[in-house]
Structure 1
Amino acid sequence: MADLVTGKYAFSRLRGDEPSDEEGRDDVEGTSSREEVEITNDGTVDFRGRPAIRAKTGGWKTSWFIYCFCGVPANQVFANMGFYGCSANLVRYLTSVMHQSNATASTNVSNWNGVGYITPLIGAFLADAYWGRYWASFVFTFIFVIGMIFLTVSASLPSLRPQQCATQDLLCPQPSSAQAAFLFFSLYIVDLGAGAFQCVVTPLGADQFDDEDPEEKAQKTSFFNWYYQSMNMGGLLAGTFLIYIQDNVSWGLGFGASLIAVVIGTMCFLGGTPFYRHNLPGGNPITRITQVIVASVRKWYIKIPISSELYEVPEEMESIIQGSRKIRHTNEFRFLDKAAVEMDGDKSDDSSANPWRLCTITQVEEVKVLVRMIPITITSAMFSTIYNQMSTVFVLQGATMDLRMGYFNIPPASLTVVELLSVSVWVPIYDFFLIRLASKFTNNPRGFTELQRIGIGLLISVFSMVAAALLEIQRLEVARLHELLDDPTVPVPLSVFWQIPQYFFVGAAEVFTYVGIYEFFYGESPDAMRGLGTAFALLTVALGSFLSSVLLTIVTHFTSKDGAPGWIADNLNRGHLDYFFWLLAGMSTVNLVFYVVCARWYTTKQTWGPSKPATLSSGTQ
């Protein structure tokens, strides 16, 4: 681990220095001294901290351990199978086993989902600053396993659940404080492990493709598509098998199967250890950000010169930030440029800059990139509010409908399979057809820019809420015609499969929005902050989940006054879910307008720097 973190050997070779006798050995075992071995151009290293050899590390052959499915090694398939096996049906567990009300359970699930997308900030910080992405993934995947063990125990032992009753009403015993505490402790350990792991394994997978190689850079777009597809396949397996076990066999067995899936996913991830490419951690990003702010404030009174007079290390030198290329100057947020204005006293006697007084253009631009990302983060979050309804009110809506399919009843949460199938259909359509079709009109070889892709997804998500609202109007009408308004125990004679359109639209929007978000935040993040960039991507999900929770709380509070049942009533036949869906559709439309404004304002990051060595001679020892 120390070799990976310091990268001493790797960077001594990249500078052209000779390694010491203790360090020196052939970089490529089995090659002659006359051969030259091609290494990556982006400064990545192998597991031992040596320059990464293109033929033996990275590329599709290595990312296979993270995303592949048919070829078996598939960390994301099994890890997400385990996580979705826990999350997709959680609202049903809280209502049927822990005896919480619909509104309380939905709020708790929304809060839990939100925290799960904030914990990535912890993983991102440790990965970018100290551990590197591999070791951060290594630690947090084991925390994920521990959380799933606790959750399985909570669902399996009768002493950790309230006494069950034949009917779900106010007479059912509530969980004790200890029972509730153990359950939520388990759930939030899962949040910490799964969220932080997801945040760092995503950029680790993308790091397997060399940004400085045109062919591999083009492959990276496809990687994000198929990486998301593997996550989707995990959810599909959970929605078809694990949820059925939970609803029809045993919650303990269902969560136990989720645990096994996570363990298998961990083994798949570890299998790729000798072949991964690694970007070295660039040091504490918070310190670098603070240095820019402090240096700017120190010089608040000075006039900003032209960009060519701002401080940067000489052109022939690499960036002073380890593992990062230089970033070109931009004209936004000019106040921060004052940190790169050189004045007397900014350098010590040995001509090295004091970073608390003088920062490079690259360091200043790192902060600008993060600031520019904030409006995109906020306006992209609305899709996650829509997405969050699938595991809450969509499930509650489906539970009131006719669940028969042939000779057995399907769990209402299993309709998420439609959304997952939609993703499975749209990913290859996008990767094989839409990119080629769109490129003819946009002159962009990737079809759409990441920001355009996100915007299209936000538009599609509006249609999912419209479909859900129209279905709820019809469901309430059928309940009225069959005199079921006051009998919620009898399913409304309207097939649950009428929910398919709303799930399908969410799935289509997901392929555009979430994949675009992952690609945008990874690609636009500074090289040494890509873990933090992925955390920003997941933060959009957190913001959306918390917004969903706040909306549920506000709507329940204001619509259930004076004894009214409220929009999201325990008896949904007396509620008005359609009003809630219309509210979300309207908010999504307004948000789309703000997003377009922010996307048009955004300035894309441009990197530059001295060329890395294209080859490494095995005879230079």
Structure 2
Amino acid sequence: MAKDAVYAKDGTIDYLGNPAKKRKTGTWTACYFILGHEFCERFTYYGMSTNLVLYFKHQLHQHSATASKNVADWGGTCYITPLIGALVADAYLGRYLTILYLSVVYVIGMALLTLSASVPGLKPTCYGKDNCHASHGQSAVCFLSLYLIALAAGGIKPCISSFGADQFDDADEVEKQHKSSFFNWFFLSINTGGLIAASLMVWIQDNVSWGWGFGIPALAMAVSGVSFFSGTRLYRNQKPGGSPITRICQVIVASIRKYDVEVPNDESLLYETKDKVSAIQGSRKLDHSNGLRFFDKSAVPGNSDNVKDSVNPWRLCTVTQVEELKSVIRLLPIWVTGIIFATVFGQMSNYFVLQGETMDTNVGNLKFQIPPASVYIFNNLGVIFWVPVYDRIIVPIARKFTGHKNGLTQLQRIGTGLFISIFSMLYASTLETVRLGMVKRHKIYELKEVPMSIFWQVPPYFIIGCAEVFTFIGQLEFFYEEAPDAMRSLCSAFSLLTIGLGQCLSSLLVTIVIKVTTRNGSAGWLPHNLNYGHLDWFFGLLTVLSVLNFVVFLVVSKFYTYKRLVGTLS
């Protein structure tokens, strides 16, 4: 059997550091362990976070706006810390060890959070179910554990999706097609875990105790780490290629140093290693592109550059290194358009929950009340419904019309989700207008639950679930495929960072709206008692921002150029 048929051509290695054998490593066999890890980790995350705004409000005794802001800030941190995990993985440890070590940190954080909600002295003092007060020390322990979780969960996220995609050889057309499906099923595992968490754990938190409500997810996280470690022998691992930030800085510095150098029209005169593979470990060569020519100056050999011997990377960079920077810059406009979508997505664990708390939570004539945060399950059901529909029905049909192997291009898929998300905010705004109209007509401002079923909230959750299948999965695949080989964790972190910035933008919008609308003693749009406010106008603001964001996306995607690879790592 030829060597090429035995080993993966993308430069991956096995757990012993040897070239990865195609028959013994990778593909779906390895991915089952990765998907198992993701299922348990997302069960943990959503089981702990879905109801967090009510934990802050009722257990830590925070004002609704403060609780909402704290959830948004913490959620934003969970999607900013991926930069830390990505840099560590790409530069030093590799994705496997980064995931493994941070899983341990995750378990520690969850254990501490469980203790803070169950151990006397650490848990808030309560005078009834929803009349609790936390001391500064008790709040500090709670937030310390939450931000440990934010560090671990964030650090794992950009690595786990990229690590799963690494199990399929880019140079093998059959395996490459499976990679596109992997992102769909990876996202399905996220939402299956979230579905069980939002239905089971929220009920336990509301009806049993917060100690059990946090303790069960902590146990699930321990199982998650064991699941991941169990597949060690099967994994294909990309070698860390050194600090991507350093390489980017080298290109910038070298370009500035050579600001007066003329870039030749003949691209063959630009500096590149003569070897078949790139000088950057774990990376294939990238073809030269014509845009952003200023940075090409760093690849123009000068009289003082010793090309034959050792090259000073702060004065002369390879074409591949320059193209790494160009790739990141080209991704930025697409990246920015994901922030508004993430702000809309964040409302499901924020003002959607607070809105649901003001509605009738009874299930028909049964003596059962659905926790407001549990309506989130309809988002998970939306994703679970649309993933197989997209993968098995939409893709084959779209392929006949577009001729594209994946049915839609990644940018078309992202744009479709952005368009769909507009209708979720439009519906939510309309629903709140109807709810407030009922409050005003019957003058029931102080009534805890308006006689309007919480199940009227189902459509926006389901619509956002559909939008996620298009936009979030499209982003995962887009940032992975368009990233240079040695920067894939970092670029995956960029896609996740939009969610973090979306949460931060949500927090900022809440702060601005409260400050502007409470002037002259007014209750404002977002008072503690939403019956006196205008949450419908806040959702309307997000609708307008979503429309503007979609228009911007159409413009920037039209001018995007996809990267071009040269050669393999074999």
Under TM normalisation by the shorter chain, which class is it? Answer: over 0.9
Amino acid in the other structure paired with 2:458: I
Matched with 1:121 is 83
Amino acid in the other structure paired with 1:399: E
Residues 272-329 of structure 1, C-alpha deviations (whole Å, 9 max, x = no match) = 1110000000011111111111110111001111222211112x52100000000111
Amino acid in the other structure paired with 2:59: V
Residues 525-569 of structure 1, C-alpha deviations (whole Å, 9 max, x = no match) = 110011101111111111111100100111111112222111111
Change in CA separation of 1:352 and 1:36 when aligned onto 2, cut-off 3 Å: closer
- Following superposition, the deviation at residue 174 of structure 1 comes to 4.5
- Following superposition, the deviation at residue 175 of structure 1 comes to 2.6
Measure, in 1, the Cα distance between the counterparts of 2:568 and 2:241.
18
Matched with 1:431 is 391
**Which SS does the other structure have where 1:160 is aligned?**
coil
**Which SS does the other structure have where 1:312 is aligned?**
coil
Matched with 1:395 is 353
Matched with 2:120 is 158
| TM-score for both structures, normalised by structure 2 | 0.97
Residues 178-203 of structure 1, C-alpha deviations (whole Å, 9 max, x = no match) = 11111111100000011101121111
Q: Which runs of 5+ in 2 are unaligned?
A: none
Matched with 1:228 is 187
Change in CA separation of 1:215 and 1:36 when aligned onto 2, cut-off 3 Å: closer
- Following superposition, the deviation at residue 157 of structure 1 comes to 2.1
Matched with 2:139 is 180
Matched with 1:44 is 12
Q: Quick one: which of 321, 340, 344 aligns to 2:280?
A: 321
Matched with 1:446 is 406
Residues 121-169 of structure 1, C-alpha deviations (whole Å, 9 max, x = no match) = 111111000101101111111111111011111111232243223486x
Measure, in 1, the Cα distance between the counterparts of 2:340 and 2:196.
27
Deviating above 4 A after TM superposition, structure 1's stretches of 4 or more consecutive aligned residues are 33-37
What is the aligned-residue RMSD (CA, Å)?
1.5
Residues 499-528 of structure 1, C-alpha deviations (whole Å, 9 max, x = no match) = 011111111111111101111111111100
- Following superposition, the deviation at residue 467 of structure 1 comes to 0.6
Q: Quick one: which of 29, 39, 42 aligns to 1:61?
A: 29
Matched with 1:502 is 460
Measure, in 2, the Cα distance between the counterparts of 1:568 and 1:447.
43
Measure, in 2, the Cα distance between the counterparts of 1:374 and 1:488.
47
On the 8 A contact 2:58/2:132 being kept in 1, the answer is no
Matched with 1:616 is none
Q: Quick one: which of 242, 252, 255 aligns to 2:211?
A: 252
On the 8 A contact 2:272/2:320 being kept in 1, the answer is yes
Alignment of 1:337-486 (within 5 A): 337-347=296-306, 350-405=308-363, 406-485=366-445
Residues 99-128 of structure 1, C-alpha deviations (whole Å, 9 max, x = no match) = 111111000000001111111111111100
Matched with 2:492 is 534
**Which SS does the other structure have where 1:132 is aligned?**
helix
On the 8 A contact 1:381/1:543 being kept in 2, the answer is yes
Residues 433-468 of structure 1, C-alpha deviations (whole Å, 9 max, x = no match) = 111111122110101111111111111111000110
- Following superposition, the deviation at residue 36 of structure 1 comes to 9.2
Amino acid in the other structure paired with 2:288: H
Matched with 1:22 is none
- The worse-fitting range, judged by mean Cα deviation, of 50-59 and 563-572 is 563-572
Q: Quick one: which of 52, 66, 71 aligns to 1:104?
A: 66
- The worse-fitting range, judged by mean Cα deviation, of 562-571 and 128-137 is 562-571
Amino acid in the other structure paired with 1:435: V
On the 8 A contact 2:115/2:123 being kept in 1, the answer is no
Q: Quick one: which of 167, 175, 198 aligns to 1:208?
A: 167
Measure, in 1, the Cα distance between the counterparts of 2:488 and 2:568.
21
Matched with 2:98 is 136
Measure, in 2, the Cα distance between the counterparts of 1:159 and 1:47.
45
On the 8 A contact 1:455/1:595 being kept in 2, the answer is yes
On the 8 A contact 1:403/1:409 being kept in 2, the answer is yes
On the 8 A contact 2:238/2:282 being kept in 1, the answer is yes
**Which SS does the other structure have where 2:160 is aligned?**
helix
Amino acid in the other structure paired with 2:429: A
Change in CA separation of 1:161 and 1:556 when aligned onto 2, cut-off 3 Å: farther
Change in CA separation of 1:575 and 1:328 when aligned onto 2, cut-off 3 Å: same
Measure, in 1, the Cα distance between the counterparts of 2:3 and 2:202.
56
Matched with 1:286 is 245
- Following superposition, the deviation at residue 261 of structure 1 comes to 1.0
Matched with 2:531 is 573
Alignment of 1:577-588 (within 5 A): 577-588=535-546
Which of these two proteins has the greater Rg computed from alpha carbons?
A: 1
Q: Quick one: which of 199, 202, 205 aligns to 2:158?
A: 199
**Which SS does the other structure have where 1:602 is aligned?**
coil
1:595 equivalent in alignment to 2:557: no
Residues 219-260 of structure 1, C-alpha deviations (whole Å, 9 max, x = no match) = 100000000000110100101111100011000111001101
Amino acid in the other structure paired with 1:92: L
**Which SS does the other structure have where 1:50 is aligned?**
coil
Measure, in 2, the Cα distance between the counterparts of 1:375 and 1:291.
23
Measure, in 1, the Cα distance between the counterparts of 2:163 and 2:272.
29
Matched with 2:110 is 148
Measure, in 2, the Cα distance between the counterparts of 1:141 and 1:179.
25
Change in CA separation of 1:611 and 1:418 when aligned onto 2, cut-off 3 Å: closer
Amino acid in the other structure paired with 1:219: H
On the 8 A contact 1:378/1:543 being kept in 2, the answer is no
- Following superposition, the deviation at residue 35 of structure 1 comes to 9.9
Measure, in 1, the Cα distance between the counterparts of 2:126 and 2:348.
26
Change in CA separation of 1:135 and 1:167 when aligned onto 2, cut-off 3 Å: closer
User: Share of identical aligned residues, percent?
Assistant: 49
Residues 375-417 of structure 1, C-alpha deviations (whole Å, 9 max, x = no match) = 1111111111000000010000001111001221010000000
On the 8 A contact 2:167/2:235 being kept in 1, the answer is yes
**Which SS does the other structure have where 1:459 is aligned?**
helix
Amino acid in the other structure paired with 2:409: T
**Which SS does the other structure have where 1:158 is aligned?**
coil
Matched with 1:619 is none
Measure, in 2, the Cα distance between the counterparts of 1:36 and 1:158.
62
Larger helix percent = 2
On the 8 A contact 1:488/1:572 being kept in 2, the answer is no
Change in CA separation of 1:209 and 1:492 when aligned onto 2, cut-off 3 Å: same
Amino acid in the other structure paired with 2:127: C
Amino acid in the other structure paired with 2:105: I
Change in CA separation of 1:282 and 1:611 when aligned onto 2, cut-off 3 Å: closer
- The worse-fitting range, judged by mean Cα deviation, of 583-592 and 472-481 is 472-481
Measure, in 2, the Cα distance between the counterparts of 1:611 and 1:557.
56
**Which SS does the other structure have where 1:493 is aligned?**
strand
Change in CA separation of 1:34 and 1:439 when aligned onto 2, cut-off 3 Å: closer
On the 8 A contact 1:39/1:51 being kept in 2, the answer is yes
On the 8 A contact 1:488/1:571 being kept in 2, the answer is no
Amino acid in the other structure paired with 1:482: H
Measure, in 2, the Cα distance between the counterparts of 1:127 and 1:80.
21
On the 8 A contact 1:319/1:609 being kept in 2, the answer is no
